[in-house]
Structure 1
Amino acid sequence: MADVIADHGHNVTLFQPFHNAMKNTEGLVKNKNVEIINYYPDHFDELVNLPTETFPLFWDSQLMNNPILQAFMMPRALAGQFERTAVQLLKDQKTLDELKSRNFDVMIVETFEITGFYVAQLLNLPFIPTMSGVRFPCFNDLFGQPSGLGYYPWIDSKLAPEAGFFDRLNDLYRNFFMYRMMDGMGDLQYAYIEKAIGKPVPYWKDLIKESPIYITNSNPYLDFAVPTTAVIVHAGGMTIDLKKMKHVGKLPEEYEPILNERESTVLISFGSVIRSFQMPENFKAGLIKMFESLPEVTFIWKYEQDDEEFQKRLPKNVHLKKWVPQPALLADKRVKVFVTHGGLGSTMEVAYSGKPALMVPIFGDQPQNAYMLERHGGAIAYDKFDLKDGEKLTKTMKDMVENPKYEENARELFKILSNQPIDPKMNLMKHLEFAMEFPKLRAQVPAINHANFIAHYYIDALAFVALAGVLIVYSTVKILRRILPIKLVSTKSKAE
């Protein structure tokens, strides 16, 4: 976002408080006019010495995917990681004064960690919330979007019209605990934020919804069709440069002979947070069976550790790489399928590359991203627990490599995204500049959103209509029971 906004002529400062010591932001900002301020907390040396978390439990732990446990465990785990840096920043008057002296016009704040909204309030700045994922339902609600139930699928549910009763029941169950998790995380942050500031502050939901717009990383031509409002800005795809994607540069020389080995090549990468070398052994066994069953296909697997013993278990058609030039490989015609965890970055890249994808979501928003891409026909959402099933994996991969429908559908989606009526970058900039000019605008949020739950869903009116209907039917039956016997007796008497 910093690059896009700076490229359009605005002065941009990127303020980065560190909650951990990951250096995954280094080198991402390309525009040299963007000023970067890294905020290192007092305990940063402790963070540097901590081992990088890779979350191997997410591979096969059923507990980590349980909505109830997530609702109560995740908020404490995540809010606890944010607290020390957040509290120090809010008490750091010198840094706050320095930021205030720069006379910013607006502050853009990521919604997953809400301290930035209170920093903006302390600086007397209007702010704009943004979400790096496709959606964050409790925030979408604040800006007038109705419930998404039935508009996009949850894990283990089919989408309408195929959805049945148990699918809808599962949607309600998962939706409820997802809200419980997000609200819980916001409430825990709000508690330590108010304590750090030392005086009562607006409740986090009341504060955030003061913004005139809310920016998400959803693309309306890729995402599920959902009811929305004008203030929810869909900027998904703004990071994609179509010119660069068509001219990604030359592949490293080591890949040329690999790509020329066979007619078809498959790229496998599960991202940077979840590591392939920590994959459970039975999952690896399933992949190895697939490799052996498809000797006519070359596999390039991003595998983050040198492991000679594991390499010996692999057939000759598999090449392990600790790092891969993903965009360049996706742009190469010799790569036929991309096996990915379905992180939003990889999802966008493969959607804009026109390549078929086997989506194997591991956690978080990845299942939603997988379903989102699958519905266009060029991808398959594959259950991670089925990785151990080598026969099923082989059958699925063979179909994706040989069946032309996947590539045809993937290419069609690429054409749609390349020709969408409003460029995501321009959509972002027009709405951002509009919000800066009208920071108090709230007229586009539906008035019904200010009502309570009962009024919002007309529960009182529906209950009245239902009750009235029951009373009318009851009264009608009672009257008929009284009238009909009299008529029957009268008719019988005349007959006699």
Structure 2
Amino acid sequence: MLLRLALPFLVFSSISTSATKKPLKILVYNIKFAHSHSVFLGNIADILSEEGHNVAWDWDYEVDNRLKPFQTSLIPEVYPPFEDGTTKSTVIRIPADKATLDFFNQVMDGDFSFVFRSDDWDRTNALKQMPLLRRIFEQQCKYTLTFEKIIEDLRREKYDVMIVETFDYCGIGLAHLLSPRSLITVSTTNIFDYLAYQIGQPLFPSHVPTSFGSVVLPSLSSRVNNLIALATSLWMFREIEKPTERLFKEKYGEAFPDMTEIIANSSFTLTNSDPFLDFAKPTLRKVVEIGGIGVREAKQIDEEWSSILSLRRRTVVVSFGTVARTFLMPLKMKKALAQAFSRFPDTTFLWKYERPEDKDDFAVEVDNLILSKWLPQNDLLEDDRVQGFLTHAGKGSYFEAASRGKSSLLVPLFGDQVRNAAAAEFVGFGHLFDKADMEDADKIETALTEILEDEGRLARAREVKRVMDSRPFTPRELLVRHVEFAAKFGQQKTLDSQGRDLSYVVYYNIDIIGIIIVSLILFLYIFYRSLSIVLCCVNVQKGKDKLKKL
């Protein structure tokens, strides 16, 4: 989830769902720190913009502190490797705090190979990320709050809806300052455990995998592991939240509400999940699953890529995402992968690899392996000549694989990827592969054979595609209709869980259970004492009767 920072930005879109409806004023807060997060929120902004006025304009506070009239313009790339995530909505930029950017660049220049080496279930991955994220978000938020003029201008806009991800909590605090009619919170993956806790959605670690968990078995060890994952997740997000919450209280007074209170009063929560691609779980009506909304319509691949796909009978796309740079993968792992690939001479392996010139170091004689700095992944997966997908199980790749019906080998590295891979295996279109086995070419070969030649798994992958194509409501419809509803009616108390304000004792009826247990114990004690007295009296009477006979 860590990842590259350029400029945080606020995305504004004036939208309407048809020419006959009044355009809505919507503000999407999208801090640019990680590719997948920016893309997901950017897709939301673009879809809402497509529903109404497709107008874009660029504003740079350091150049001109007056709001400009609407005009079409390009967004300057302050950090070229990173996209804004949106191309169709109005963009208002807030520059990166220099100290934050310098720190982030320092982090990114560090050694991230630990994501390949660590055990899948090692919670230290999350623990390592938390201090970095906390510092980045706190420093940038402190700088953002110095732009009082733009904050006041945004407040006067009187937005109908503000959409904010609950990862960087600065947007939550700004939502309170700007006072939109409705606040909609966002989780760019499955609903974060801490967010679920804040809005009152039930958490059942006994059988529902947590944000950083996997399949929960009835065994004691599995449930303990999931409980530890839950505690780690809750602690991590609270630690990220606290410094930002303190910034707002210091600047605007102690009366400023807690972040949890603001989040709990949101109208809806949008999550990057889909009920047909996940474990069943208890939920609330205010939680709207729009998973896969970022999967764009595939384009026709060009002749160059088409010729590559025609080299052999089938092709497998290999990608570990943008965060885990594969040139940092341990050499032994890369050699094992290349060796396994070489055992499929009728298959071309297309590997997204940042330094293709390194091939001679680990795959000099593997002719069916092609390394490329970039792949048109979504477009390639749409092609029938691509019959398999080896991926890290990031959310974007997860939904692309499901939507294109590709049998997948999923090697989760960190964060929510373990849960995603477990869900893919549960649904049936993927096979979860432990990265600890990535140094074993034989195991990799066996796993690849399964996803490429198991007819049952291939058929299930195609079935998943049909399910995704036939969902009762598309993610786009769910997004637009709920945003419209929130703009029109605001927060609905009927959708809020009454349990969110209850203590654990009351929520789980521990007091009632305690009373029952105490009452049962008291009853058994009284029964025992009464029985003892009765038996004692009987024995005494028998003694008296014996004495009378004597």
Per the normalisation by structure 1, the TM-score is 0.89
Q: Structure 1 CA distance, aligned partners of 2:197 and 2:55? A: 29
Q: Structure 1 CA distance, aligned partners of 2:153 and 2:214? A: 50
Q: Among residues 297, 310, 313, which one is paired with 1:260 in the alignment? A: 310
Q: State the one-letter code of the partner of 2:336.
A: G
2:15 maps to none
The 8 Å contact of residues 330 and 350 in structure 1, kept in 2 or not, is answered as yes
Paired residues, number: 485
1:8 maps to 51
Q: Structure 2 CA distance, aligned partners of 1:227 and 1:10? A: 38
1:278 matched to 2:328? The reply is: yes
Stretches of structure 2 lacking an aligned partner (at least 5 in a row) = 1-43, 61-74
Q: Among residues 210, 218, 221, which one is paired with 2:273 in the alignment? A: 218
Name the SS of the counterpart of 2:345 in structure 1: coil
The 8 Å contact of residues 5 and 429 in structure 1, kept in 2 or not, is answered as yes
Q: Among residues 60, 64, 67, which one is paired with 2:116 in the alignment? A: 60
1:77 matched to 2:129? The reply is: no
The 8 Å contact of residues 352 and 375 in structure 2, kept in 1 or not, is answered as yes
1:137 maps to 193
1:364 maps to 415
2:454 maps to 403
Q: Structure 2 CA distance, aligned partners of 1:202 and 1:351? A: 41
Moved more, 308-317 or 485-494: 485-494
The 8 Å contact of residues 16 and 37 in structure 1, kept in 2 or not, is answered as yes
How much does 1:144 deviate?
2.6
1:165 matched to 2:220? The reply is: yes
How much does 1:49 deviate?
9.8
The 8 Å contact of residues 264 and 401 in structure 1, kept in 2 or not, is answered as no
The 8 Å contact of residues 161 and 486 in structure 2, kept in 1 or not, is answered as no
1:344 matched to 2:387? The reply is: no
Q: Structure 1 CA distance, aligned partners of 2:503 and 2:58? A: 37
How much does 1:411 deviate?
0.9
Q: Cα–Cα, structure 1 residues 24 and 13, in superposed 2: closer, same or farther, change >3 Å?
A: farther
How much does 1:211 deviate?
1.3
Q: Structure 2 CA distance, aligned partners of 1:491 and 1:14? A: 103
Name the SS of the counterpart of 1:56 in structure 2: coil
The 8 Å contact of residues 153 and 371 in structure 1, kept in 2 or not, is answered as no
Q: Structure 2 CA distance, aligned partners of 1:134 and 1:205? A: 19
The 8 Å contact of residues 104 and 136 in structure 2, kept in 1 or not, is answered as no
Q: Cα–Cα, structure 1 residues 405 and 287, in superposed 2: closer, same or farther, change >3 Å?
A: same
Q: Cα–Cα, structure 1 residues 49 and 467, in superposed 2: closer, same or farther, change >3 Å?
A: closer
2:229 maps to 174
How much does 1:325 deviate?
1.1
Q: Structure 1 CA distance, aligned partners of 2:78 and 2:304? A: 32
Moved more, 266-275 or 475-484: 475-484
Q: Structure 1 CA distance, aligned partners of 2:101 and 2:392? A: 31
Q: Cα–Cα, structure 1 residues 449 and 199, in superposed 2: closer, same or farther, change >3 Å?
A: closer
Q: State the one-letter code of the partner of 2:409.
A: L
1:317 matched to 2:374? The reply is: no
1:448 matched to 2:499? The reply is: yes
Moved more, 43-52 or 112-121: 43-52
The 8 Å contact of residues 15 and 36 in structure 1, kept in 2 or not, is answered as yes
1:183 maps to 238
How much does 1:458 deviate?
0.8
Q: Cα–Cα, structure 1 residues 16 and 476, in superposed 2: closer, same or farther, change >3 Å?
A: farther
Q: Structure 2 CA distance, aligned partners of 1:23 and 1:227? A: 42
Alpha-carbon RMSD across the aligned residues, in angstroms, is: 3.1
Q: Write the deviation string for residues 273-303 of structure 1: whole angstroms up to 9, x where unpaired.
A: 1111110122112212212333332211111
Task: Quote the sequence identity (%).
Answer: 29
2:515 maps to 464
Per the normalisation by structure 2, the TM-score is 0.80
Q: Cα–Cα, structure 1 residues 447 and 14, in superposed 2: closer, same or farther, change >3 Å?
A: farther
1:331 maps to 382
